[in-house]
Amino acid sequence: MSSIDGRKSLARCSQVRLPGGGSIDTPILIPSFSSKGFHVDRGGKSEVRALLEFASEWLTDSMLVSAYDIHHGHLAKPDEMVKAPELTVVDSGGYEVRVEHDQSTSVHAPHAPKEWNVALLDEVLSSWPTRFAAAFVTFDHPSDRRSFAEQLEAAKAFAARYPGQLHTLLLKPETDNQKTLGKTLQQACASAEEFAAFDFLGVTEKELGATMLDRMYEIAKLRLALDDAAVATPIHVFGALDPLTSSLYFLAGAEVFDGLTWLRYAYRDGLCVYQANHGVLSIGSDQRDERVRAQTLTSNVHYLSTLRLEMRRFTLERDFSQFKHHADALRNVFDSLRATKLKGRI
């Protein structure tokens, strides 16, 4: 394990074997698609479906889609896809059936979820084409809260039901009264060896804590527990795909990141900005909004590719200057993480 000043380093690159052969290297920055927060017409067609069709031409590495959206026709069914990226993460629909929004949502419009259950999820996953490598995420529903032990057993049964694809165990709070993953992660750290059975270990950004440092601390604590148990399973942070927070979570030990910011904003100088502002600064004030959005999406994917390379270079030199933007801020926050209860370990 590489180190900074002789201590264990959290940031790393891994290689994940894909079903059917080949592999994909982490870190992985995954553009996500979801009907939640986007316009759906009276016929049930989501604007995100058109965005996916547009982006499929140049999304070659990875993407995340929701089984909920596929079932309800908001996105095309997998057998209708002409091609797919190296890895498709198939989320189980927990985000879409929640009334709450994620942290990057600028307008919290009313949300009325449709029917969703594990049987409907099974219909989607059972028909997933084997030619498209996928990571299936364990079932998550706000009305279905389980103990850590029950989550673990259910995830093992879930993985056994679909042996032809990769699997992500998404950890969730045990009860409705628990708003964060604190208690779940305590048990997870004590049972870290169990996660060797999974390809990815997922946590939701919003449930990690109330501050950035809290969230980084929980990720780091989990990563260290996995390392102590000699478990290489990468940590996937759901809902975190803006350049700054993805970089911070990467420094804390996470390797996989997804989110909708790439659809909502423009990535510029290491931050998210309004697409209209990016249009004025980089595309042209005389350009139609449709063109601004299209060019912004392609630019965002290119930005993620560049950020991924910066992360990979950081793992070689442990040099914060490998990050083109906000290197000093990243170092300062990381130093704050080192000063927490993890002092002396990282």
- The DSSP secondary structure of 186-248, one letter per residue, reads HHHHHTGGGGGGSSEEEEEGGGT-SSHHHHHHHHHHHHHHHHHTT--PPEEEET--SHHHHHH
Strand 7-8 to strand 15-17: parallel, antiparallel, or no bridges (unpaired)?
Answer: unpaired
- The position carrying tokens 């596929």 is 70
* Helical segments of the chain, H only: 47-55, 67-71, 94-97, 118-126, 148-161, 182-190, 212-228, 243-252, 261-264, 275-278, 289-317, 327-338
Band of residue 1 on the pLDDT scale cut at 50, 70, 90: very low
Residue 2 pLDDT > 90: no
Task: Single out the residue of 167, 182, 97, 175 nearest to residue 133, CA to CA.
Answer: 167
Are 340 and 213 contacting, i.e. CB atoms less than 8 angstroms apart?
yes
> Distance between CA 239 and CA 205 in Å, rounded?
6
Amino acid at site 141: H
**Residue 140 CA: distances (Å) to CA of 149, 151, 158, 242, 323:** 15, 10, 12, 24, 35
- At 310 the three-state DSSP class reads helix
State the average pLDDT for the chain.
92
Residue 21 CB neighbour total at 10 angstroms: 7
3-class SS of residue 89: strand
Which residue has tokens 């990057």?
104
Q: Which two tokens stand for residue 169?
A: 């165990």
pLDDT digits (tens, 9 = 90+) for 228-257: 999 999 999 999 999 999 999 999 999 999
pLDDT at site 3: 42
Answer yes or no: is pLDDT of 98 > 90: no
DSSP secondary structure letter of residue 322: G
Phi first, then psi, for residue 317 (nearest 5°) are: -105, -15
Q: What Rg, from alpha-carbon coordinates, does the chain have?
A: 19
Burial of 79 (0-12, 13-18, 19+ CB in 10 A): exposed
What pLDDT digit, counting tens, does each position of 6-30 carry?
Answer: 456 899 999 999 998 899 999 999 9
* Distance of alpha carbon 41 from alpha carbon 333, whole angstroms: 43
pLDDT tens for each residue of 36-83 = 988 777 666 778 988 998 898 889 999 999 999 999 999 989 888 878
In residues, how long is the chain?
Answer: 346
pLDDT at 66: 97
% of the chain at pLDDT higher than 70:
93
Q: Return the pLDDT at 83.
A: 81
Dihedral over Cα of 305, 307, 311, 313: its sign: positive
pLDDT given for residue 6 in this prediction: 44
- What pTM was computed for the model? 0.94
Instruction: Please tell me the least confidently modeled range out of 47-61, 107-121, 305-319.
Output: 107-121
> Distance of alpha carbon 73 from its chain centroid, rounded?
23
Count of Cβ atoms closer than 10 Å to residue 238 Cβ: 27
pLDDT at 92 over 70: yes
Query: What is the residue whose two structure tokens read 């990815």?
Result: 200
Q: What is the mean pLDDT of residues 164-177?
A: 96
Angle, helices 212-228/327-338, rounded to nearest 10 degrees? 60
User: Which tokens in the block code for residue 124?
Assistant: 């989607």
Q: Which two tokens stand for residue 194?
A: 């169990």
- Mean pLDDT computed over 87-104: 83
Higher-pLDDT residue of 99 and 184 is 184
